[in-house]
Amino acid sequence: MTEAQIELGKRAVACKGWRWSPGMLAVDLKTRSEARVMPGTMNLIVRYLEGDRYVGGSVPDLTDPATVGCLLALVRAAWGTAIIVSYSYDDGLWETMWEGATDAGWCGRGETEGAALVAALEAAP
C-alpha cells in the first residue's frame, strides 16, 4: 500500500460510522501483511498465517473490491438512504450521492471510489 492509501484507511477508521465488517481486507500497519476480516466469537479478528490477531492497528485496503463494497454499506447505513457512486467525466473525480439527488447533491468526492466513500462517511450526519 502507498502512504496515501494508508492515510485514507486511517481516515476511514476514524469515522463515527466506521466498523470492521467480515470480508474486508485489513493491512497491519506494523508488518504490512494483509488478511481478510473474519467473524469471531467476541470481536472481529483478522486471520494471519501465524495465528489470530485483532484488527486494532490495521487499516482497510480501499483498493480491494470487497472492502469498497463493505464501505458502501457503511455509508448507506450512516446516511440512512440508498447511496449511489458514480464517476464524473467532467473533472475526473468519483462522487457519492443519495438516490434522487440533484447534480449538486453529492455527499462525498474523491480521486478513487474508496476516497469518495470515505469522504461521504466523514460527512454523514
| pLDDT per residue as tens digits for the range 87-96 | 777 788 888 8
- Go through 44-59 and write b for each residue having 16 or more CB atoms within 10 A of its CB, e for each that does not: bbbeeeeeebebeebb
Closest by Cα among 41, 69, 43 to 58: 43
Closest by Cα among 57, 21, 18 to 36: 21
Q: Could you tell me the residue range of the domain that residue 21 belongs to?
A: 3-123
Phi, psi at 88, each rounded to 5°: -95, 120
Q: For 66-93, write each residue's pLDDT tens digit.
A: 999 999 999 999 988 887 787 777 788 8
User: Structurally, how many domains does the chain consist of?
Assistant: 1
Q: What is the pTM of this model?
A: 0.87
